[in-house]
Amino acid sequence: MTKKTRRRYSDEFKAEAVNMVRGEGYAISEAARRLDIDRSLLDRWCRQQRDREVKDIHDQKRGSYGSRRMANELHRRGHAVGRYQGRSLMQEADIACRQRRRYRHTTDSDHALPVAPNLLRRQFTVPEPNQAWVADITAIWTLEGWLYLAAVLDLYDRQVIGWAMADHMKASPTLDALEMAFGRRRLLEEGSITRFAAASTHHMRIANDWFSKGSWPP
């Protein structure tokens, strides 16, 4: 019995065969018939080319593409790939989207305004409520853009006692957060708060003015 000789194909032939499917729009079965090769062989070449392109796209885009954008790019290059198949291909290639964390500075240390004294002195444990409050403002990225959350926390029980959110970093969200804190704790008499610390210049400037002048919120 004569042993059947295995045919060998050059890289150029493989590339031309794959291009018939991807570039010229032939079905795999039709392209295989025209090239006189097995359909499963051509299908494997197409999948190997697609897998190589998944890694190429990942490298070219510096890992910024998730499954949806990967599938769209593969589809643009001629591969019939949906979003979920794109995710499976990324998992098989052991690659994942590297998302950049959006960041925005909310602290302004470069100013000539007076700096309030450090009354807290890192004493984060207090024996009674309303002895020490801390506050901050942070930027939160949403699908509608940046939002800014101002919050006031009582160090006694670590409860957030005042908060406000806005799409800007003006004084109003800071005022609203402090007014809510005063309203919830019903502290209208002067001297109720002995120490106040703020990571935000907005909170510190406004609170310092209130505490020094005794101009409490309504």
The pLDDT profile of the chain, 218 residues, written as one tens digit per residue, is: 455 566 788 888 988 888 888 778 888 889 889 888 999 988 888 888 888 888 999 888 888 888 888 888 888 887 778 888 888 888 888 888 876 666 565 565 665 666 667 777 778 888 888 888 888 888 888 877 889 999 999 988 899 999 999 988 888 888 889 888 888 877 544 445 545 554 455 555 555 555 555 554 44
Same domain, 69 and 110: no
Same domain, 88 and 106: no
Give the count of domains, the chain: 2
Q: What is the pLDDT of residue 188?
A: 45
Same domain, 215 and 112: yes
Answer with the one of 74, 92, 110 that is the final residue of a domain. 92
Same domain, 87 and 108: no
Angle at the Cα of 200 from the Cα atoms of 198 and 201, rounded to 5 degrees: 105
Neighbours of 177 (CB within 10 A): 26
CA 211 to chain centre: 38
Does the residue 3 lie in any domain?
Answer: no
Same domain, 141 and 122: yes
Answer with the one of 61, 92, 123 that is the final residue of a domain. 92
Same domain, 216 and 112: yes
State the helix-helix crossing angle for 11-22 and 39-60, rounded to 10 degrees.
90
Q: What is the pLDDT of residue 218?
A: 44
Q: What is the pLDDT of residue 104?
A: 62
- Using DSSP, state whether 88 is helix, strand or coil: helix
Domain span at residue 124? Answer: 101-218
Q: What is the pLDDT of residue 103?
A: 58
Q: What is the pLDDT of residue 151?
A: 93
Same domain, 88 and 140: no
Measure Cα distances from 173 to 69, 93, 127, 195, 208 in Å.
37, 47, 29, 21, 16
Q: In terms of Cα–Cα distance, which of 81, 70, 65 is closest to 22? A: 81
Does the residue 144 lie in any domain?
Answer: yes
Does the residue 58 lie in any domain?
Answer: yes
Q: What is the pLDDT of residue 62?
A: 83
The sign of the CA dihedral 62, 63, 69, 74 is: positive
Same domain, 212 and 105: yes
